[in-house]
Amino acid sequence: MKKRMKRIGFYEGLPISDAHSFIEETTERPIPKHRDLLVQVSAVSVNPVDTKFRHQAVKKNTLTVLGFDAVGKVVAKGSEVKDYAIGDRIYYAGTSKRSGSNQEFQLVDERIVAKAPNNLTDEACAALPLTAITAYELLFEKFQFIPKEVANTTKNILVINGGGGVGSILTQLAKWCGLKVAATASQKNFEWLKSNGVDYPIDYHQPVKPQLEKVGMDKVDAVAVLFDIRPYLTELVEIIQPMGHIGMIVGVDEPIDISKFKNLSVTFDWEYMFAKTDHEKQIETQGEILIHLTKLIEENKIHTNLGKVYKEGISADTLKQATKEVESGKVQGKVVITGGFR
């Protein structure tokens, strides 16, 4: 008899209040081939991208299983796996092209995983991969800062929405690599910014440029825009250094005019963590990034930003509750479900 497993998903994107927004089913456990690992999932986090994908989903006859951040134990592996063994505890951010982590056993390519940090719990590990990879790629691949400790001490960065999931990891990495870091948030979250490496908290309710000038950052080398860029375009022309970088992770639903940046020779960068796995391009670099992040975490150079944790186990009910928290936008830090499948 073939082994079975639980999985949680939906047939169409429904409001989280709908009884069928998440459905639990059982199915055959997949068999790993080639470079795949079969992972028994012990903890997952819910990201805004999960809710975005669910809202955009069209009705299908097959169950859609989302979930990206995960930590778990390798229980089987394909014949071409090189770097991982049965029993290894790993973490990863998955891909948008395969069934996600909201299932008891998940297939994942060994090239996009890493061994989980020894000094973190499952829930703390599950809070990291997606936001940390996004932040790392933006800082060190797109902006081309040097990914070494205190290697960029002559440079600075402004982070728009520094208190969010990506922002609170990006500011830590920016501080670790030697950048002077300014970041926006509401004043009530200034201490949160400082705890995550920010030198100069900036009140997003007020014009940004005068606040930067007060702390001696008349111009910045890079701006990570982790929010809708449109309210900031006019100020960014005056803030960004010539030959600087502006990076975005949030899409726009209408064209934006960047012509005023032409004579500054500014580079605009899009960061989308799934681009590599969507297009089978340099996917091994995401595993390498996680390996580096594990080292930094175990050396206490950066920390996870765990918010609310559901410890009752992964089920349709806890996934609905966690998703509702994320959609409310009121939780500081990541929302995680731990305890394996019940």
pLDDT tens figures, 251-288? 998 899 999 999 999 999 999 999 999 999 999 999 99
Provide the pLDDT for residue 123. 97
| Mean pLDDT taken over the chain | 96
- The reported pTM is 0.96
For residue 41, with 0-12 CB atoms within 10 Å meaning exposed, 13-18 middle and 19 or more buried, which class applies? buried
pLDDT tier, 72 (very low <50, low <70, confident <90, very high otherwise):
very high
What per-residue confidence (pLDDT) applies to 16? 93
Other beta carbons within 10 Å of 240: 21
* DSSP helix/strand/coil, 228: coil
Residue 74: count other Cβ atoms within 10 Å of its Cβ: 22
Among candidates 331, 339, 338, 320, which has minimal Cα distance to 18?
Answer: 320
CB within 8 A of 40, min separation 6: which ones? 72, 73, 75, 104, 105, 340
Alpha helices in 163-266 (DSSP H): 165-176, 190-195, 208-214, 233-239
Best CA proximity match to 71, nearest among 43, 94, 98, 52: 43
At 295 the pLDDT is 98
Distance from chain centroid for Cα 121: 18
Q: Which CATH class is domain 4-116+305-338?
A: alpha beta
| Stretch 179-190: mean pLDDT | 97
Average pLDDT over residues 56-78: 94
Per-residue HEC secondary structure of 44-66 comes to: EEECHHHHHHHHHCCCCCCCECC
The pLDDT confidence band at residue 332, using thresholds 50, 70 and 90, is: confident
Q: Please name the residues in contact with 109: beta carbons below 8 A apart, sequence gap of 6 or more.
A: 35, 36, 37, 95, 277, 283
How would you list the strands of the sheet with 220-225, edge to edge? 200-203, 180-185, 156-160, 220-225, 240-248, 267-270
**For residue 253, what pLDDT is reported?**
87
Q: How far apart are CA 146 and CA 165, in angstroms?
A: 22
What pLDDT does residue 342 have? 84
Architecture of the domain made up of 132-274 = 3-Layer(aba) Sandwich (3.40)
Name the pLDDT band for 1 (thresholds 50, 70, 90): low
Q: β-pairing, 36-46 with 70-77? A: antiparallel
Percent of the chain, pLDDT > 70? 100
* Domain-wise residue ranges, the chain: 4-116+305-338, 132-274
pLDDT tens-digit readout, 120-161 = 999 999 999 999 999 999 999 999 999 999 999 999 999 999
